[in-house]
Amino acid sequence: MLTCRDSRCRLAVLAVSLTVFWGFMVWSFGYMPALGSGFANADTVKYMRVSLVEDAIIERRIRYCEAPSGSAVKRFFLKVVNQKVTEYLELTGTSYNLPTCEELVVVST
């Protein structure tokens, strides 16, 4: 069994471990095409992130629209929607067109 008792040996093991870990992460996201595409292509990951952000925007926007006017809940969901819209802009480079509350909220009879 290999044991490291001095600090140089431990530092070397740590450096090799971190290099292997980050190398695997870079490969797995498809950033090293010379070694294969990995299991999660960078474009696919971006598409999935954009899709999740879009879903989050709609869900939070519905909650914003359903919240009582002037309440802390409404202010909270406005803040969250704005954060998600900013995240969408950073991911795609385009602004997100928010639907109006009338388009989202279904009034039950």
Give the SS3 label for residue 27.
Answer: helix
Structure tokens at 45: 């990951």
The model's pTM: 0.61
Q: Are the C-beta atoms of 96 and 57 separated by less than 8 Å? A: yes
pLDDT tens series, the chain, 109 aa: 566 778 888 888 899 999 999 888 887 776 766 666 666 666 777 888 999 999 999 999 999 999 999 999 999 999 999 999 999 999 999 999 999 988 886 655 4
Give 42-109 as a DSSP string.
HHHHHHHHHHHHHHHHHHHHHHHHHSPTT-HHHHHHHHHHHHHHHHHHHHHSS---PPPHHHHPPPP-
Q: Which residues contact 37 (CB under 8 A, 6 or more apart)?
A: 30
